[in-house]
Amino acid sequence: MITITNTKTRQRAQFPLPFTLSSLSKIGIDETFEGVMFIEGIDTFGYGLDGYLSFYELKDFLQSYINQQNPYHFNYMMLGRLQQDCDYFLGYGGRYEPQLWAGSVEGQIAEMKKLWQSFPEQEKPEWLTWEQILDYEKKMKNDEL
């Protein structure tokens, strides 16, 4: 539970995480609210200033919280990191293998395949397909590029 205070009216209420933004109406807050809210009971590090958040900062914070509750959150982040390494390797990295997270093209691609296959079918990332991973493998193993 977190406590949110409307700093304009001093109304406050407790909310279970996650909650819908429409439930803030009970303390006089909606998307037209132009003030700040004070949040207690959770670290809002990276959002707002010392616990004070605007409506849109709270909206972003809640989306981040929901994303982190996904059991595949870390695997998505790791796969994204590995993909960025591949892009760097093929571009400005000058094909220098020690810069890859896995230290080698084979290890990098193997880890990407393992992570991608770990997602259930309905949770597979839309931003990186199996075919794209195979394309990275082909490009990274081809010294001619």
Give the pLDDT confidence score for residue 67 in this predicted structure.
81
* Among candidate residues 69, 92, 120, the one where a domain is terminated: 69
> Does 77 lie in the same domain as 60?
no
Confidence (pTM) = 0.61
User: Radius of gyration over alpha carbons of the chain, in Å?
Assistant: 21
Domain limits for position 40: 2-69
Q: What's the 3-state SS for 26-86?
A: HHCCCCCCCCCEEEECCCCCCCCECCEECHHHHHHHHHHHHHHHCCCHHHHHHHHHHHHHH
Query: Do 65 and 26 reside in the same domain of the chain?
Result: yes
Q: How confident is the model at residue 144 (pLDDT cuts 50, 70, 90)?
A: low
Report pLDDT digits (tens) over 92-126.
999 999 999 999 999 999 999 999 999 999 999 99
Which among 69, 90, 122 is the end of a domain?
Answer: 69
pLDDT one-digit tens code per residue, 47-98:
887 889 999 999 999 998 888 888 898 999 999 999 999 999 999 999 999 9
Task: Write down which residue in 14, 37, 69 finishes a domain.
Answer: 69
If asked whether residues 31 and 82 sit together in one domain, one would say no
Taking CA 55 as the corner, what is the angle to CA 59 and CA 61, rounded to the nearest 5 degrees? Answer: 30
- Shared domain for 127 and 81, answered yes or no, is yes
From the CB of residue 100, how many other CB atoms can be counted at a distance below 10 Å? 22
Cα→Cα distances 36→18, 22, 93, Å: 19, 16, 44
59 and 78 fall within a common domain: no
